[in-house]
Amino acid sequence: MGLLIASFALWGIPDLFSNTGGRAVVTIGDQEIDVVEFDRAYGQRLRQMEAQFGQVIDREQAAAIGIPQQVLQQLVSERSFNMHAKELGLRGSNRQVVTTIHEVEAFEGFDGRFDRTAYENQLAQAGVTPGEFETSLRNDLMRRQLVEALVAAKPAPDALAKSLFRYRNESRKATILSVSAQEVGTVDLPTEDELRAAFDVEKGRFMTPAYKVVAVAEISPASVAKPDEVTDEELEEGYAARLAEFQTPELRDVDLVSFGVNDKELAETFVSRIEAGEPFDTVLSDMTDFQPDEIALGDMSHSDIEQDYNTKVADAVFALTEPGLSAPAQSVFGWHIFRVRSITEPVNRPLDQVANILRQEIAEEKALDAVYDVSVEAEEMLARGAGLQEIATNLQLVFEQATVSREGLLQTGGVVQGAISRHLSDVWALEIDEPVMLEPTDDGGFTLMDVTDEIPPQQRPFIEVQDQLRENLIAERQLAKAGEKAEELAQSLRSGEPIATLAETAGADLLETDWITRSGIGRSNQVAPIVGRLMFQMPVGDVAVERAASGDGYVVVRLDDKKPGNPQTDAAEYEALLDSLSTAMLNDALVQYESALRKDYGVEVNTNLLQQVINPQGAL
């Protein structure tokens, strides 16, 4: 029922500003949803989507996928249910409002209890006052009472649910013989005439891929860098500028216990009890709602703690010279006590350890200007009509040329490597009549790409593919022989011969399955889905032959037994099915119920005004 109620539940679109004046976007009976309310709800939906997808969604994008209409329909649904709930005398009491607010995790302080400051801060961030939120919540509670009354009954008939359960949870057992095409013995080898006949039929399968003759030239700072020309002075200056890269700050593996902003005494008591000898975990369990594994923060530096809390808190943690408990320290979030489990000393890598790496990096930085100058020269040569190979030769660029397929296969055999491999998708996207493409690279270099010829797929000659044709024909004959053998075994099985004897004589694999349910077909590792489906099409005692799922043989299946699903022995699963059916039927009922409310009250949408709100620029 949870999903059903959630569609009308407490944290949907707030029913705010229903009496604030302004023009009505939609009218439901004698109630109006004005511009302010719709715009507030629309904005909130956009913020929810941005939080969900992690990217900014503007109103134009939202309108393109129908979000304004979804918001409007949600508002109409909520208002219709609110109006009907009031007519029925339903109300959201003060106690319900308070209880609900106190149960919202977002409104809790660090001690896990309701915190008024957190409550007001959260509402302020959402642009809602406590009064507005509580009015909205009261309406939501009233609406929820109506919906819960509707879903209190279980409309799914027991007889229907039991019949469906018996069918879906029917179980069957079978015995299976497997005949592998690889184990049927020898078959006649195909003659050359048979091979050529097969080649004539299957020529389309034996084509070369399309090829392009591509050329790539590239230059990068790394390829022209001269680390030997970096002076010691430049090296020392570079080390000083990058010092943070070669240092690991002191780290402390910490646990965090927090109390509310007004709970300094509790924090001090926590420390006092532990200093008096009480076990940390005992005091933690006694004074907080947290378990030891829930308070671990792991390794943190002074700057990490300073950024998350403040300098005073970080100083308190790093004042400890050995593992232990910090003094209580305050931040805007409350009072904090850190348990330092271990201390990792800072690590500084001296210049002589990083000199080679640093020298190369400095050389590459110095080469950036030279690479840029080369790119300018390349562009000028392209403008004069120079070819790619000429440009590469004159400017001393790395140059590669190859005839290659889209997949990177060389016409001469093997797989393309090097620069062409790195830029294969880009160069293959070019057409033969396009100009040379010059593209910058992420490392500050650039690449030139060109296509000089295209080779369409070609028919591979018979002599080149005859071995593959021979293997294919042999495999086909082995498979056909396996099918014949499987049919013989099936006939013997129908005649009453023991299946174990048949398996031993034929050298076939024998499998006796466990009970397999109809709903478990495809989820069981015992048999392939194709065999599972076959089992549920056969009468008990019947024998059938089916192609193996792997394609390299056949299976002989004998259905040994079956039993219907039992709602009494599988009570939990039956209840889940009953709930699922009830939810589906209640969802249908709610849709019909809402439709009836809309018809009774009457719903009129001010389309022009709605479009002005959705697209203000378009209304100008």
- Examine residue 338 and state whether it is found in any structural domain, yes or no: yes
Residue 505 confidence (pLDDT) above 50: yes
| 319 and 443, same domain (yes or no) | no
**Cα–chain center distance at 192:** 54
Does 71 fall in a domain? yes
Higher-confidence position of 195 and 247: 195
Assess whether 451 and 469 both reside in one domain: no
Do residue 531 and residue 591 come from a single domain?
no
Same domain, 479 and 609: no
Asked whether residue 162 is assigned to any structural domain, the reply reads no
Mean pLDDT of 502-523: 88
Using DSSP bridges, classify how beta strands 247-248 and 347-348 pair: parallel, antiparallel or unpaired.
antiparallel
- Name the CA dihedral angle for 606, 608, 614, 619, rounded to a multiple of 10 degrees: -160
Domain span at residue 492? Answer: 171-200+465-563
Q: Could you identify the residue written with the tokens 């403040």?
A: 310
pLDDT value, residue 537: 94
CA 381, 382, 386, 390 torsion-angle sign = positive
Same domain for 179 and 147, yes or no, is no
329, 345, 361 - which closes a domain: 345
Q: Name the domain boundary from 455, 481, 501.
A: 455
**Is 242 within the bounds of a domain?**
no
**Any domain includes 160:** no
The overall pTM is greater than 0.95: no
Residues 132-164: tens digit of each pLDDT: 888 888 888 888 888 777 766 556 677 888 888
What's the confidence (pLDDT) of residue 617? 56
Residues 9 and 113 in one domain: yes
Query: For residue range 80-109, what is the model confidence (pLDDT) as tens digits?
Result: 888 888 888 888 788 888 888 888 888 888
Torsions phi, psi of 207, nearest 5?
Answer: -120, 150
Query: Residue 505: what residue type?
Result: T
Both 487 and 605 in a single domain? no
**Which backbone phi and psi does 314 adopt, to 5 degrees?**
-60, -40
- Which residues on adjacent β-strands are paired with residue 401? 215
Q: What are the pLDDT digits (tens) for 167-214?
A: 989 999 999 999 988 888 888 899 999 999 999 998 888 998 999 999
What are 233's two structure tokens? 């002075």
Residues 44 and 146 in one domain: yes
CATH of the domain at 279: 3.10.50.40
Last residue of a domain, one of 345, 362, 388: 345
pLDDT of residue 152: 66
Give the residue-averaged pLDDT of 560-580.
88
Q: What is the mean pLDDT of the chain?
A: 86
What is the amino acid identity at position 182? Q
Domain-embedded: residue 572: no
Residues 605 and 520 grouped into a single domain: no
Give the CATH number, domain containing residue 606. Answer: 1.10.4030.10
Length of the chain in terms of residues written = 620
Q: Is the dihedral of CA 389, 391, 393, 395 positive or negative?
A: negative
**Do residues 327 and 316 make contact, with C-beta atoms less than 8 angstroms apart?**
yes
Give the per-residue pLDDT at 472.
92
Amino acid type, 562:
K
Q: Identity (one letter) of the amino acid at 38?
A: F
Report the pLDDT value the prediction gives residue 216, as an integer from 0 to 100. Answer: 92
Both tokens of 115, joined, read 């915190």
Q: Are residues 117 and 17 in the same domain?
A: yes
Residue 5: what pLDDT? Answer: 33
- The tens digit of pLDDT for each residue in 392-413 reads 999 888 899 999 999 999 999 8
DSSP string, 253-316: EEEEEEE-TT-HHHHHHHHHHHHTT--HHHHHHHHSS--GGGSEEEEE-HHHHHHHS-HHHHHH
Cβ 201 vs Cβ 552: under 8 Å:
no
Q: Are residues 385 and 502 in the same domain?
A: no
Report if residue 445 sits inside a domain: yes
Q: What's the rounded mean pLDDT across residues 45-69?
A: 84
Please state the rounded mean pLDDT for residues 314-330.
93
Q: What is the pLDDT of residue 324?
A: 93
The CATH number covering residue 531 comes to 3.10.50
If asked whether residues 20 and 135 sit together in one domain, one would say: yes
- Report if residue 570 sits inside a domain: no
Q: How many structural domains are present in the chain?
A: 4
